[in-house]
Structure 1
């Protein structure tokens, strides 16, 4: 039985849910997940759903994370300034990763876009192959439609992606649809990683809009729109650390603490999804034939937003003005059938890439 160790970037829920899905696929194919090491800010705990579903020992370590301004937008300058004094902690994290690799003796390391994973692979040169997984690696693909504006941001995102994949055998690029592999760039296009729970959901369409916020500061925009349109029912999941499991603001606005199973249940029954252009959430919505409105808060998500519109999954907005979604809904055409077929083809692809790496 081959042993696999996961390194997971813990910012948001996307990479965490990808790791859960991958653990399920590998376990079904006879692999053992020996541990999942999750990087992130110390003050932001790993969500409970990850502990519940990964079915492997979980270790947290300090890792660089994005810093947001008061409007919920990423502030790259503040991000750099914030992390400069913490470099000594990141050095300790690299040692922690190395100790875990020695202790668990994996046959393969799968890195879900964790920057310290790439730096560890480059500095420590472990005798274990590393494969990197992430939608961001698709940005290296010559056919991917990146936004024309934001050249500096484009460079920074790709530079960060390179750091996560230092010394990796392959970069497995998650994509909404099939694009050709580009082996010369070590880029291999694969279908998205969806949790097994998604496949068994009963789809319905009720009248509420589902919202996912990866930063609490964005809630103000939701509340502003809600007060003007109280007739529209909203269920909002947010990542506030001290949030109640469920908080009913009024008759048509309910807040929920981040909960993977509950989120999927609400997604299966919603009219549409509103989110910050995170790849994983859009994929789940596409699979369930739910139109989306995406509001990118940094360049990486702007790329996701452009791709979301390219494949017909939904519409992009500059802020959480849900009127943009309401105007879009009558013209939306379902894309779920083609997307589900692409996902069904994925398991053999994934296993073939892992077997070749080991």
Structure 2
């Protein structure tokens, strides 16, 4: 079987998931990868046959989307050319992890595909949403990577086509430990903002994963660390708690490890607002943004927070097997 696997490289979650699934997918046939996007911090440890700048998300220093940079990096003519050139029709199976060029190519060439991943779960009205829904956000989640089949991932199985998250084997098999520090991963905030708000919390130690530093840098009780899969896994496994964005992979891994979790959705990113609503239902502390009284909020939360009692049913191998069963409907 020839498998086309389209991976969104906006952020690190899609790449992290792909690296976990790829060895299992390769048991079913030859896998060619299409990597689309321009702002992930992780490297995909596999050959990439097709590559595109795609449509990427960019962030300001203060926790919100940078719309100017996003629009500046869109080239409709280039996207049109890439859609026409992408040879999806030559593959037995097309798997799309929230990538629009592949979706458009499949629709144009009438090629069936599976939209697999977290965003696919929002095809269900049962998946949690914030109190104030966004029409634009809903349209993007449902139309950005349209397909003929959907297989979603979420914190809970809200519908019959939704599975629990893909957890990296290093996390799935890890023995969680509390080394009395807090992991911080807020890539939509600059280091200067992190120093401003976390600098007041001198009674705690923080390991901050930064998109700015090239080498580990210690500044008092704050240690800034370049983003890497291995270093982040180690930090998460051994931390007492984590403060992070309301993405999907990192909160999922923290839930699996039974860590205290505080999340802050990126301003303007509707998917993260939906995730925050789901996490809030589970008992996770959510904040809209960093504020001047963050030190007070943090101390109150840290003193009283308890890990969420949740277990995920499927490992990566089982999820891949279930996806291939669903692929029978596409073949």
Give the distance between the partners of 1:8 and 1:285, measured in 2 at CA: 23
Aligned to 2:103: 118
| Corresponding residue of 1:324 | 297
- Report deviation, 1:106: 2.8
The TM-score with structure 1 as length reference comes to 0.81
Residue by residue, what CA displacement relative to the aligned partner does 1:62-83 show, whole Å, maximum 9, x if unpaired? 211224345231255x367425
Distance in 1, Cα, partners of 2:157 & 2:162: 7
Residue 172 in 1 paired to residue 151 in 2?
A: yes
Any idea what the Cα deviations from partners look like across 1:171-209, whole Å, max 9, x if unmatched? 21211112232xxxxxx2112112222222231101111
Determine the structure 2 residue equivalent to 1:23: 22
Aligned equivalent of 2:236? 267
List structure 1 segments (4+ residues) > 6 angstroms apart after TM superposition.
none
Partner of residue 185, structure 1: none
- For these two proteins, the number of residue pairs brought into alignment is 325
1:94 aligned residue (72, 77, 83) = 83
| Residue equivalent to 2:251 | 282
- 1:234 equivalent to 2:206? Answer yes
The 5 A counterparts of 1:58-137 are 58-76=49-67, 78=68, 81-83=71-73, 86-98=75-87, 101=88, 105-126=90-111, 129-137=112-120
1:213 and 1:275 in contact (8 A); partners too: yes
Residue 7 (structure 1) aligned with residue 6 (structure 2): yes
Q: 1:36 aligns with which of 7, 14, 33?
A: 33
* TM value normalised by structure 2: 0.87
Q: Distance in 2 between matches of 1:238 and 1:33?
A: 35
Partner of 1:184: none
* Cα displacement string for residues 277-326 of structure 1 (whole angstroms, at most 9, x for unaligned residues): 111110011111112111111222111111112123x2101224364343
Gaps of 5+ in 2: none
2-structure distance, mates of 1:172, 1:272: 31
Judging changes above 3 Å, is the alpha-carbon distance between structure 1 residues 322 and 93 closer, same or farther for their aligned structure 2 residues? farther
Higher RCO (C-alpha 8 Å, min separation 6):
2
Q: Is the 8 A contact 2:182 2:207 kept in 1?
A: yes
The answer as to whether partners of 1:209 and 1:271 remain within 8 angstroms in 2 is yes
SS of the residue 1:340 aligns to: coil
For 2:241 and 2:52, locate their aligned partners in 1 and report how far apart those are by CA, in whole Å. Answer: 35
2:287 counterpart of 1:307: no
Change over 3 Å in CA distance of 1:271–1:33 after alignment to 2: farther
How far residue 123 of structure 1 moved from its aligned partner, in angstroms, is 2.0
CA contact (8 A) 2:25 2:31 kept: no
d(CA) in 2 for partners of 1:302 and 1:159?
15
| SS of the residue 2:4 aligns to | strand
Judge which range, 55-64 or 191-200, deviates more: 55-64
Q: CA RMSD in A?
A: 2.5
Pick aligned residue for 1:292 from 254, 261, 272? 261
Give 3-state SS (helix, strand or coil) of 1:210's partner: strand
Structure-1 separation of matches of 2:30 and 2:195: 42
Q: Does 1:203 align with 2:176?
A: yes
Contact 2:56–2:70 (Cα < 8 Å) also in 1: no
State the secondary structure of the residue aligned to 1:203: coil
| Counterpart-to-counterpart distance in 2, 1:326 and 1:316 | 14
Kindly tell me: are residues 121 and 31 of structure 1, through their superposed partners in 2, closer, same or farther at Cα, counting changes over 3 Å? same
Distance 1:276 1:322 in 2: 17
SS of 2:55's equivalent in the other structure is coil
Q: For structure 1, list consecutive stretches of 5 or more residues without a partner in the other structure.
A: 182-187
On the 8 A contact 2:60/2:66 being kept in 1, the answer is yes
